[in-house]
Chain A
Amino acid sequence: MMKHKKFWALLLALAMVLSLAACGGKDADSDKSGDSGTPAAAPEDQKTGDAESGQADADSDLAYVQGKGTLVVGMTDFAPMDYRDADGSWIGFDADMASAFAESLGVTVEFQEITWDYKVMELDAKSIDCVWNGMTLNDEVKAAMDTGNAYCLNAQVLVVPADRAADFENLTSLEGLNVAVESGSAGEDAAEALGASTTAVAKQADALMEVSAGTADAAVIDLLMAGAMIGEGTNYANLTYTVNLNTAQGLESEEYGVGFRKGSDLVAAWNEFWAAAIADGSVLETGTTYGVQESLILE
């Protein structure tokens, strides 16, 4: 009997150790900050951690990507920048250019759909190598990533039911309106700045559904997306867009950029690639294919 008791105790101890190891994210965390002696400065700590592992692999992010042979592009389904064709493969202005960029690096491109709110974590955890998905260069993005030169212009527009469009013309304030916005998007900032009470939803498409279902008075989404998704011939034929919120706020248009990890030398590689692609006309050509040529920045 004693023997069995010992056997069970050992088995249990082993199981507990294993299960603790499996959920030991927090432990590893505290150990590490303990080592570096700066437990309070978590972001600092992380940076040194990255640099160390970067040096272990190779000297640069570019070498890291070329070493594993794939460029993992973090994106969401966002026509006309990234979306699936009828065969299920990724196309769109951003998707096509990302493939060309990967080719120029001599690696294969891999598209990974991500949850947009977690793009910085995805990048820092190296589960993706860049964020390339019609990303507005706002303060949050600039603080957390290194970005390539802006390549496209965009604005936030107010989407309303077509039959009520006249009520919204030349509005300079959204006070008293209930506006659906994508959580964490540039549209959310714009709507709040103009005094709307906002309902944050997970995706821009959800915001359109809110307006369509009448649960919100209006939605704020990207001009590029509004052009592709609403109006005649789409599934949101009853919606239209009116106010340009950037003009209403007296702001410049927004710019789209590609995000890389902080300190990554892929930024320089990207800028070089993009300048060459503008020069040989492939940017304009691809942009024309997807109807975004008006918004491109061709220096």
Chain B
Amino acid sequence: MFSFFASTEFQTVLSALNTGFVKTLQLFFVTLVGAVPLGLVISFGSMSRIPPLRWLTKTVVWMVRGTPLVLQIIALYYVPGLKGFHIWSGGESGRFTAVAVAFVINYACYFSEIYRGGIQGVPVGQQEAGLVLGMTKRQIFFKITLLQMIKRIVPPMSNEIITLVKDTSLARVVALQEVIWMGESFMKGNQGYAGLVWPLFFTAVYYLAFSGIATILLGKLEKKLEYFH
């Protein structure tokens, strides 16, 4: 057993899977950094007092949440090129950019609904209290609503974040070489090894380790925010 972990087969596969998992993590963090603020903007849109803006936002959210992410990735990557607009640079980097844009838009739409729930879950009485004290709308949002909203959305956001880690595997549909692609590559043949099935299943270790860490960190955040009631 020990000798297997020291074997060149294991080392070769491990370094390939590491390369793939770095891609997975890049996609994960880029998506979070883009989707967390964009989701807030979209949630404002869907709560707007201006009806056309509200309808437009809700239609976009419906379309994005109502179609499979894998289809959005394929459409976003291939359709512009097929129509003669070569907006994605060739090779790996273009693929990554296209996939990242698809993920940010998709996840921002899901986040926006979580934010909306969080904002609207703060009792109206608190906003009214703010108004009575002469606070502006902006002050009320940032000083009263926002922090309470953050506390409320941590559990549902944790859910989405853990789903996101695993959803990154959809990116391999346009040949982005993330960790599952790398695992599968040893079945067909990669760096002199062919017909290996274990690397594919071994990728689970990476996902489990990462979601374990994420769960612990998000649990700590939840505890930290517990002083609100």
Which residue numbers of A lie inside 8 Å of B, CB to CB? 1, 4-5, 8-9, 11-13, 15-16, 19-20, 22-23, 25-26, 28-29, 32, 46, 49-50, 52-53, 70, 72, 76-79, 83-86, 88, 110, 112-115, 118, 121-122, 124-127, 202-206, 208-209, 212, 228-230, 234-236
Contacts and interface: CB of A to CB of B under 8 A. Distances in A.
B105 A22 contact: yes
Contacts, number: 153
Contacts of B196: 235
A29 B83 contact: yes
B91 A8 contact: no
B6 interface: no
Interface residues of B, number: 57
B44 A8 contact: yes
B105 A16 contact: no
Contacts of B172: 115
Given A205-B195, A236-B195, A50 B53 contact: no
A19 B94 CA distance: 19
Secondary structure type dominating chain B contacts: helix
Contacts of B88: 127
Interface in B9-59: 12, 38, 41-42, 44-45, 48-50, 53, 56-57
Interface string B72-109: 10111111111111101011001100000100010010
Contacts of A16: 45, 53, 56-57, 60
A230 B189 CA distance: 12
A19 B38 contact: yes
Given A5-B137, A86-B192, A77 B81 contact: no
A229 B192 contact: no
Contact of B175 (A78, A79, A110, A112): A112
Contact of A124 (B75, B81, B105, B188): B81
A76 B83 CA distance: 25
Best-surrounded residue of B187, B189, B192 (most CB of chain A within 10 A): B189
Contacts of A234: 194-195
A32 B83 contact: yes
A230 B41 CA distance: 55
A203 B74 CA distance: 19
A85 B192 contact: yes
Nearest to A31: B83
Interface of B: 12, 38, 41-42, 44-45, 48-50, 53, 56-57, 60, 64, 72, 74-86, 88, 90-91, 94-95, 101, 105, 108, 136-138, 172-175, 177, 184-185, 187-197
A76 B45 CA distance: 44
Contacts of B79: 25-26, 28-29
Given A78-B189, A83-B190, 15 more contacts: A12-B48, A16-B53, A25-B80, A28-B79, A72-B91, A78-B188, A84-B192, A112-B90, A125-B77, A203-B184, A205-B189, A205-B194, A208-B187, A228-B194, A235-B194
A50 B189 contact: no
17 contacts: A5-B49, A5-B137, A9-B50, A9-B53, A12-B57, A16-B60, A23-B72, A23-B76, A28-B79, A86-B191, A86-B192, A118-B74, A125-B78, A127-B81, A127-B88, A208-B195, A229-B189
A1 B139 CA distance: 11
Contacts of B90: 70, 72, 110, 112, 127
A115 B174 contact: yes
B187 A125 contact: no
A9 B47 CA distance: 11
B188 A28 contact: no
B191 A85 contact: yes
B136 A88 contact: no
Nearest to B89: A127
Contacts of B101: 22
